[in-house]
Amino acid sequence: MSERFAWVPDLERGEWLRPMEAEPPESILSVVPRGFEAYARVLHPVERDRPRRTRTWQGLDETTYFEGVDDIEASLEIERTTWAQAAASFGTTMHAQAQYARLVRRDDGEVDGAIAADGWRYGDTSEGCLDAASLAAASAVLARHTTTPDAGVAAVWEGWGGLLSSAGVAHFVPEPSGRRPTRHARHADENADEDTDEDTDEDTDEDTGRGAAPSLRDRLAAAGRAGLAGAQAVLTARPRAARNDPEPGSGLLSRRIATGPRFELHGDTGRRYVLFEAGAADFADAAWPARAPWVDDVVWAHSPSILWPDDHAWVLATEIDFDSTLVAGTRALVRELMETPGLEVLSIHTDADLTRDGDLLNRPE
């Protein structure tokens, strides 16, 4: 195995990706490099649920359904599912450039909690992060398509809350009394004032702390209002909640790493990464979150933003604003990924439009 997850201060390891900066920002070639035989899109999985008793949300009042329910999880059928199944539920068309919001007929506004005619309620996808199980399944394949499965680089976006300093992360735990969920800071800033918690119950999209909320968060919020013990939603607090900026090194990573060099792509877009030694074989082990130095809670483990082997045989990249992960490699690699159980993978062309407007087959009515 590689020197597992050791910090890489040598930014030259990433310079071979520099040509991506010359590509149009809307192109997938600005996320994964040109010049590979084939390209694929790994769709981030979603969850769906429905009441066990009625087997449908149709005709039910969601705001009152949980009143008097002692065990919210036991009252629901909850399962991990695919975009293709979401399309089947909503009668939309699954295709390589599909956008999840359009598949569930929520082109504008909140996607989480969309209810299909067949009674299932669908959660949202995760942006900027491939779940740990999917990454492990993909990495087992990736390891077979490189001469250096034990050696490579994992680039982790520096903007995840609590990574470089204690700013940007909070826990929200429902109170047994039924009060509003209480915020418990994961990395508390000793200089923060107690009266600066405004807006901390909202997600943030600021560079220093992107939300890491669970899917179906409306369901968990309802559990919190009902006072159900054991439910926990993890959200990212707004950085401005702390009046004084915490020191670098007060987060998960040491001061040496937190103040060290960053690999930066695409100029002033905020795409700056901390590099770590990691081969595909490291991530093929499903227990990788417990060993990754950038992971605080294994349940909400952030995947690398970019991963590549030392022989540059392929690149896996999860752009911060994307709800799917891109892979560039050989045709054999893409074919095997598409055939891997537990993954939803589609082959795409380099001219694919993955913006919201690129989904021409599911335009709003």
**Mean pLDDT for each consecutive 10-residue tract of the chain (365 residues)?**
83 97 94 98 96 92 80 90 98 96 87 94 94 97 98 95 72 39 35 36 39 39 36 32 61 91 91 96 94 90 96 97 96 98 97 92 88
Q: How many CB atoms lie within 10 A of CB 25?
A: 9
pLDDT of res. 245: 64
pLDDT of res. 250: 79
Q: Supply the pTM of this predicted model.
A: 0.80
Beta bridge partners of 23: none
pLDDT of res. 281: 97
From the DSSP assignment, how many helices (H) and strands (E) are in the chain? 8, 17
On whether the CB atoms of residues 249 and 258 are closer than 8 A, the answer is yes
Indicate the pairing of strand 324-329 with strand 38-43: antiparallel
